[in-house]
Structure 1
Amino acid sequence: MTNYFVMKNASLKRYNTLRLDVTAEDIVIAYSIKGMVEALRNYADRKIVVIGNGSNMLFTKEHYGSDTVFIVTSLIGDMEVIDGEIVAEAGARLNRLAWFSCEQSIGGYEFCEDIPGTIGGALIMNAGQWQYSISQYVNWIEVYNYETDTIDRIVPDEDFFAYRYSRINEMPVFILRAGLKAEPGNYNDALEKMLYYRHERYVKQPRNYANAGSVFKRPKDKEGNSLFVWKLFDGVNLRGYRHGGAMVSEKHPGFIVNTGNATVKDMIEIIQECISRVKNEYDVDLELEWRVIK
């Protein structure tokens, strides 16, 4: 008996926040860390894509064949305080991390409350908002190394993380769990901050359509100055631009949303149009923040 369940020729719509209705020959739902490692080993001869909350990702195919296996970590979300640090499994939601920390009077994680991702995804892309990022709180990362078939512990050095990046991307590993700092905090202060952050994001970001968060990393001009994507988009009339069921958000042009029936082709073509207009007008190269699943 395995510690995971396999769905055959099933839809990934419920497993991605863009709600693109693509199908996959094999979708694995792991029940535990043990089950995830078993699946990683049993499907070592295939291309493996791990899905946490399914945010911040873009599919490029309508159907993925048996050469690709999707492992979903939605059931791998345990979180507890052990020996003075938070130990969180890869599938633990970031908003749960914020509330768990608040309940335990641990400070620092309020910024996570409304980030729609998981610990695993956050560590891969160094997720954050405001002046905070997950890298500020990481003690260690436990991973499965598929080249050596071992479970290893990584202790990040000061160069391990960068803006929306971690060295995990260059390593032959899959994230299992992480140990995070647990500095004392104040319950009431944490609660107030979380509600403030949520309010700010709800006011500014599109919540009436499915989306996968900010599409592009913040670009820089030739002098190295940071630019705002939404300002660039407004300068080339992209606010509200539609292609099929995909649309550049009217509320916040930094987001591309699914108005209800967007296809993979719609999403790819609207992204390409955004990149092209900004390049032609400003000579600025936009880089996707989304993880692209080929």
Structure 2
Amino acid sequence: MNNIIKYLYINGCDIKKDEPLKNHTYFRLGGKTPYMIFPKTKEIFINTLKVLKENNINFKIIGGGANLIIKDENLDFLILSTKYLNKINIKNEDVLNYILKERNNEEYKKVEVYAETGIYLSNLVYQLAENNLSGMEFSSGIPGTLGGAIFMNAGAYDGEIKQVISEVEIIDLNDLKIKKINNENMNFSYRRSILQNSNKIALSTILKLEIKEKDFIINKIKQLSEKRWERQPLEYPSAGSIFKRPKEDFYVGTTIEKMGLKGYRIGDAEISEKHAGFIINRGNATFKDVMSLIDYIKEKVRKEYNIILNVEPEIWK
């Protein structure tokens, strides 16, 4: 193992030994990994994946750590981070000024943007706004990275990532080949994509966006940010919405609130007073606290509504 870690460092990776994952997750949960690896470019990331696979080294990939619930005990696998996969390139940048002057020219209303999947959604949205590009405002307050959003087809306020994806560049861990998958073949659905349970890792994507006035885009971002602040417990660590909606007309947060469970705590894990669809970490919540509270809610809903809730974040036991 030491020789492999040395090789990865020499070939462009930052390395952290015995790194606590609670430092890299929104929920502030997660035990130590033997090594956390940060490849500095997409090409180095690909090479690192190949080295780990060819040497049969167990690993998991982490982006922003937004939708993860990780056990407190020490982990027996390495962590590969997408932190430095944050490049974007507006392909039509050289004609953008011309397009803005010709606002009635339908041919140029759409612009393609190349983006690597480690970039945080909040950063991406504002960079797009600076270039008068609209379509991803809905995601401005969604925590985590573009890769995580593609993985689970993240959405909010009537928008979903599938609406702006043209194609996704992936590496298939089954054969270590780089492939491109168009939108139709990504199998996007509610909080799902082909990337789940498939050994396919998203590296980059092509976004299709529309040119609009910068002030219009920024104002929309601000309006949605205000809604989020008023309705979601953004001031506390959490993993976002804790349960998937089991059916179209069943709202989990509203249901939990009707059952009088707002503020219910196990240890330092608490059902948010602001939005009952969130479990928050009041400071020192443990993995056991969170999982016990999840199980408690699931059992209450099952008994009262005969509905089985499924957890939205990934759980690493």
TM interval, shorter chain, is over 0.9
**Structure 2: which amino acid aligns with 1:3?**
G
Q: Hey, what does 2:90 align to over in structure 1?
A: 81
Q: Deviations over 1:208-227 (max 9, x none)?
A: 2111111111122xxxx521
% identical equivalent positions: 30
Q: How does 1:80-119 map to 2 (within 5 A)?
A: 80-83=89-92, 84-119=111-146
Q: Deviations over 1:258-279 (max 9, x none)?
A: 1000111111111111111110
Cα distance in 2 for partners of 1:104, 1:50 equals: 31
Q: Hey, what does 2:102 align to over in structure 1?
A: none
Cα distance in 2 for partners of 1:269, 1:260 equals: 17
**Contact persistence 2:138–2:158 (CA under 8 A):** no
**Contact persistence 2:139–2:155 (CA under 8 A):** yes
Matched length: 288
Two-structure CA RMSD over aligned residues (Å): 1.5
Matched, 1:59 2:62: no
Q: Hey, what does 1:20 align to over in structure 2?
A: 29
Matched, 1:238 2:256: no
Cα distance in 2 for partners of 1:73, 1:41 equals: 15
* Equivalent position SS for 1:43: helix
Cα distance in 1 for partners of 2:68, 2:313 equals: 5
Cα distance in 1 for partners of 2:274, 2:145 equals: 25
Matched, 1:190 2:247: no
Distance change in 2, residues 1:62/1:26 (3 Å): same
* Equivalent position SS for 2:206: strand
Give the number of the structure whose residues are more often helix, by fraction. 2
In structure 1, which of residues 24, 29, 34 is the aligned counterpart of residue 38 of structure 2? Answer: 29
Q: Deviations over 1:48-93 (max 9, x none)?
A: 311111001111352102xx22111122211120254111111011
Cα distance in 1 for partners of 2:137, 2:81 equals: 26
In structure 2, which of residues 158, 176, 191 is the aligned counterpart of residue 131 of structure 1? Answer: 158
Where do 5+ consecutive residues of structure 2 fail to align? 1-9, 93-110
Cα distance in 2 for partners of 1:170, 1:242 equals: 32
Distance change in 2, residues 1:15/1:206 (3 Å): same
Alignment TM-score, normalising by the size of structure 2: 0.87
**Contact persistence 1:60–1:268 (CA under 8 A):** no
Cα distance in 1 for partners of 2:58, 2:259 equals: 39
* Greater Cα radius of gyration, structure 1 or 2: 2
Alignment TM-score, normalising by the size of structure 1: 0.94
Q: Hey, what does 2:96 align to over in structure 1?
A: none
182-191 or 195-204, larger mean C-alpha shift = 182-191
**Contact persistence 2:169–2:202 (CA under 8 A):** yes
Cα distance in 1 for partners of 2:261, 2:12 equals: 47
**Structure 1: which amino acid aligns with 2:68?**
M
